[in-house]
A and B are shown apart, each in its own frame.
Chain A
Amino acid sequence: MSNLPVLIIASLLIFAFISALVGIWKSAGARITALIGMALSFAAACTGLYQVLHHGTLRHFLGGWPPPIGIEYVLDNLSAFMIVIITFIGMIAVIYPPQAGLYIKPRKVIPTYGMILLLIGGLAGVVVTGDLFNLFVFLEIYSLASYALITLGGDRAVVASFRYLILGTIAGSFYLLGIGFIYFTTGTLNMADAAQLLPSMYTSPAVMTGVALIVVGMGIKMALFPLHVWLPDAHSYAPPTIAAVLAAIQVETGAYVVVRMMLSVFSPEYFIQTLPITTIIGWVSAIGIIFGSIMAIAQKDFKRMLAYSTVGQVAYIGIGIGLANPLGLIGALLHILNHAFMKSCLFLVAGGIRHHTGLHHIPEFAGLGRRMPLMMAGFTVAALSMVGIPPMCGFFSKWYLVLGSLEAHNYVFAGVIVASSLLTAVYFFRVIEKVFARPEEDRPEIQQAREPGPSILVPILILAVGMIALGLANAAIVNGILDKIVAPLG
């Protein structure tokens, strides 16, 4: 028993309230307190990853009640990997200045940072918990926080957020109904215990219904085509910091739950052979990749393009799950990490451009490259990484996915991944060409544009450098941790 798994969550949830209280006393303190909470959590997450890699799985029994009676928090390879990503992106989101990232003046941030911490805390809780019902509770915590945060984007964002609330709640309810079926057949809510009891009941219709409901619910949460309808509106109207967090880690958490169900609660064979779940996820994702990329090409609004691009990129993770072989799943997990860096960087760039020039239509970006060279350099790194150009990290996850498809003799998936890289190139090179190659237009927004201050640049450049570093270190990540996670697939 170790206290580390619960410390990651507790520092986020406690500081969510401290941040709001300090904010009432002194509004500038809200952000600093939130940053302290995030940093503590990130430090605990990194320590957790180190300990998990060296000493194996860490468990914490809440209230001292051992499982299967009590709730346990488990930090194993998969959750330690995810939690470091989540807390890191959360920290970047808190560092990014609120004027650019949340459309609000620094004085009005009092409840906002508490809400961001609740969002990150909920996501971290989903990843760490070893209890099926507790997962539902954390799912709703982060969902509620994200509904509230999306509305900071203005009038349209409220409507988008309401639609997302309806669909998100249906997703959560499907999950709850699913675990209901599993609870009433096995009599347990603990994941490890359920994994022991379930194999003898795999053919029972109740268990099959439960699995189907859970996967459909998580399909909505991870915006798998055709359940993605809520995503483009919610992500493009949300303020940039929130859009970055949602696209980078929230959507991926849905994918994490599917992987967790496949590896830890049910057996991979059950998802592959008994029920055709992975096959369905794979083919649906293949359509989603093409659909998301084509829709992204058609968009003129920068953030809306990024939102459709998220639909396509999440489908890469879906394809990796759908392949259900070790190489494919390594690709999917690596893409969770890479996409978190790439998409959050792009949304933060979008926020910076909008804050400094007021522009958000891509055709108006002409000449920005000379006005804000460093920020656009960060954008270019992220865009090239999205396209999949080595040594940026985006290349390697696609590489593993293609290898996985070839190993499975699924040449359609391999073709889809390559074709989608070309489509991604189309929509990003369009922006790069506008930004760098076109002459400046004689408009005040462009003429007065200048490099943003370090408060905006530093988070973007950290992510940009991170993308190159992850690309160079990808062999270490794959050998060090991802290989162990996918071991159950054999």
Chain B
Amino acid sequence: MLELVMGRYVYVMIVILLAIGLYGVLTKRNLVKKLIGLNIFQTAIFLFFIEGATKLGGTVPVIDPAIGTEAEKYINPLPHVLMLTGLVVGISLTGVALAFLIRIYRDYGSLDDKTIMKEMNK
């Protein structure tokens, strides 16, 4: 068990981050904290892709004549590119969500989930 954890400790950390993010989204009453939880959750997924791309002893994926053309010696660049797109998506989502929060705060004077629920049901 310990070996498994030590051998894959990055993945364990990613799972912990995922759990923290979900916990924030599901249990926090403050909408900003929910959004922060969501960001942590997304970041954990980005890290998952980045970690999947690494190789022990791999280098930057630009072919260097001194190193040769073996794929084993270079880090897989594709997940990095995917996560660049993922980051753009994440930033847009955060931007839209923050704009919503500004509007919610103007309308209800609060960012607390329960208070807003009470106001909505009036």
Contacts and interface: CB of A to CB of B under 8 A. Distances in A.
Interface of A: 133, 136-137, 140, 144, 147-148, 151, 155-156, 158-159, 161-162, 165-166, 169-170, 172-173, 176-177, 180, 183-184
Interface residues of B, number: 29
A450 B97 CA distance: 41
B103 interface: yes
Contacts of A184: 52
A137 B48 CA distance: 18
- SS of B interface (majority): helix
A387 B104 CA distance: 38
Given A137-B89, A144-B92, A162 B42 contact: no
Contacts of B97: 162, 165-166
A170 B38 CA distance: 7
B93 A183 contact: no
Contacts, number: 64
A162 B104 contact: yes
Given A137-B89, A158-B100, A162-B104, A176 B45 contact: yes
B120 interface: yes
A173 B42 CA distance: 6
Given A151-B100, A162-B31, A169 B38 contact: yes
Contact of A165 (B52, B100, B116): B100
Question: Which among B22, B34, B52, B82 has the highest number of chain A CB atoms within 10 Å?
Answer: B82
B75 interface: no
Nearest to A140: B89
A42 to B, nearest CB: 28
Interface in B25-42: 25, 31, 34-35, 38, 41-42
Contacts of A183: 52, 79
Given A144-B93, A180-B45, A159 B38 contact: no
B50 to A, nearest CB: 10
B18 to A, nearest CB: 8
Nearest to B100: A162
B120 A147 contact: no
B94 to A, nearest CB: 9
Contact of B96 (A148, A159, A177): A148
